[in-house]
Structure 1
Amino acid sequence: MKQLLLLLLISGYSTYSQSVAALKTDTQKMYEANFLMDFETIVSLSYPKMVENYGREAWLEQIEKHYENDEFRLRLQLETVPFQYSEVKKIEGKSFCVITCRNPIRYFFETKLTSETATIKTIWLQEVNKTKEVTFEPKRNSFNVRKTTTMLAVCDETTNNKWTFFNFDDEKQYQAFRTLFEESTQKELGL
């Protein structure tokens, strides 16, 4: 009996360790896809119900416009960043993990900004990125934004028990999370 209990305990720990290892690997893949602007990979690692509700092609286009549009180009500045992981929580048969990292990004504006428009863009970037750390660099016609990125990893039956992500840097993804998951789940995760 003791051997059976020990075997179950080791098996459970091994499964949990594999899940956490997979989470860390998949988080790195998602970050790397964002760094390289590999939009197809970003979509494939996004929570499937969110992509399905929005439409795969529309979602792909949305992500591309987040990085490049008529107004600016957005780039992540560091190839790797240290991630902070919350504990993995099981809620209603689904696994969740909140992941954060300090993530410096740069916005290159297509049109030359005047001091007045730079001030307006500074305020906008502070609001959009939820940070006061926004520096305008006139020679590069760009802004350096130092912020904390928050992602939510979800593993459930709709993901074939693989980790997929919401990136809360994108307001649409945050709203999709709030639509897809109960308020009690949001509250338990502190989101």
Structure 2
Amino acid sequence: MRTKFFSLVFFLIASSSFSQNAVQLLSATKQLYEANYLMDFEGIVALSYPKMVETIGKDVLLEKLDQFYENEEYRLRYQVQTVPFITPKIKKIGNQSFCVISCRNPLRYFFEKKLTTDEAADKKIWLQEINKTKDVTFEPNRNSFNVKKQSKFVAVMDETTHGEWKFFNLDDANQLASFELLIDESVRKELGL
């Protein structure tokens, strides 16, 4: 009887701990997405994986985020403030916990210079390639492209994050390169990346 009781208590504690982790993960993911929606670059950096911030440098990362969202050629905006997230099981690999999170993410690219028909066709191909989607629509009256894509974020919890979920945004080429540099290939394979 005692063994069953202790087994039940252990199971409830483990379940509670896991569900708290899942709730924390969803909350942190929503914060990250909203920081991207609001272009809160300081907020994005605060939610980013610390070793990535250290490797790139906080000021450089802030500058790269600013360039990612707005430069001389275009302005990028998330179109929807909240989206449903697909969060598979949290994977414990070694001393780290990981979760690959995805969501359907509609984006809009506003181009600064009025695009000709040929330029718009070239930009459409370019946007399809960098966003890994065929769902790109040019809106000539707004001189912009509507891009519907699947975004991916990798959440990591380890000793460097002090028990909090921190992220890599795999849509950002700089963060993707940092992810590939900092996270071992065997771990990336296990995560399906």
Secondary structure at the counterpart of residue 82 of structure 2: coil
Partner of 2:8: 6
Matched to 2:61, the amino acid is: W
Displacement of 1:160: 0.4
Secondary structure at the counterpart of residue 62 of structure 1: helix
Q: Distance in 2 between the 1:126 and 1:169 partners?
A: 13
Q: Distance in 2 between the 1:128 and 1:39 partners?
A: 21
Partner of 2:131: 129
CA RMSD of aligned residues (A): 0.8
Q: Distance in 2 between the 1:179 and 1:74 partners?
A: 26
Partner of 2:182: 180
1:96-135 Cα shifts (integer Å, max 9, x gaps): 0011111010000011111111111111101110011111
Q: Distance in 1 between the 2:126 and 2:190 partners?
A: 31
Give the count of matched residue pairs.
Answer: 191
TM-score by length of 2: 0.97
Q: Provide runs of 4+ in structure 1 moved above 3 Å.
A: none
Partner of 1:157: 159
Q: Distance in 2 between the 1:133 and 1:161 partners?
A: 38
> Is 1:91 aligned with 2:93?
yes
Q: Distance in 2 between the 1:9 and 1:86 partners?
A: 21
The equivalences for 1:140-151 within 5 A come to 140-151=142-153
TM-score by length of 1: 0.98
Partner of 1:41: 43
The equivalences for 1:55-94 within 5 A come to 55-94=57-96
Secondary structure at the counterpart of residue 84 of structure 1: coil
Partner of 1:168: 170
Matched to 1:121, the amino acid is: K
Displacement of 1:8: 1.9
User: Which sits farther off after the overlay, 2-11 or 21-30?
Assistant: 2-11
Which residues of structure 2 form unaligned runs of 5+?
A: none
Displacement of 1:6: 2.2
Which residues of structure 1 form unaligned runs of 5+?
A: none
Matched to 2:125, the amino acid is: I
Fraction of identical pairs, as percent: 55
Q: Distance in 1 between the 2:9 and 2:135 partners?
A: 51
Displacement of 1:173: 1.1
